[in-house]
Copies of this chain bind each other. A is one copy, B any other.
Amino acid sequence: MTDHFHDVHAAAAFRDDKLSKVNLHESQHMFCDVYCLRPGQVQKIHAHEGSDKIYHALTGTSRVTIGDVTRELVPGELAIAPAGEPHGVENASDAEATLLVVMAPHPSFGG
């Protein structure tokens, strides 16, 4: 595929030591990553004052927190963390999980 077209599942790559983030695109406007979580891997709850984030479940089951709500997210489901809203994700299942994650604007592009 060219740089502008991606097979999201083929891009997935896991790490043993922590959640893996595979970047597909970034600019000042946004980043688009595939988050790859083995069982037990976590992105701790945090917030970004100036950026929105979307989690879109691709495979497996992820446990996503937005504000004071925590839910299991399965493929076809999507969670949105508006700017300033605390959010995080963990894989509390016994199988690998992947999510498409878009954040806009990019919180640290070029910096």
Fill in one digit per residue for A1-24: 1 if any B CB lies within 8 Å of its CB, else 0.
110111111000000000000001
Fill in one digit per residue for A52-93: 1 if any B CB lies within 8 Å of its CB, else 0.
101010100000101101010100111111110100000000
Please name all residues of chain B whose beta carbon is closer than 8 Å to the beta carbon of A46 when the two chains form the complex: none
Please, how many residues of chain A have a CB less than 8 angstroms from a CB on the other chain? 39
- Is the pair A77, B30 in contact by a Cβ cutoff of 8 Å? no
- Is the pair A6, B100 in contact by a Cβ cutoff of 8 Å? no
Please state the number of chain copies in the assembly.
2
Please name all residues of chain B whose beta carbon is closer than 8 Å to the beta carbon of A27 when the two chains form the complex: 52, 82-83
A104 proximal to B (CB < 8 A): yes
* Cβ-neighbour of A78 out of B24, B52, B77 (below 8 A): B24
A25 proximal to B (CB < 8 A): yes
A29 proximal to B (CB < 8 A): yes
Closest CB in chain B relative to A42 CB, distance in Å:
19
- Is the pair B56, A56 in contact by a Cβ cutoff of 8 Å? yes
- Is the pair B32, A54 in contact by a Cβ cutoff of 8 Å? yes
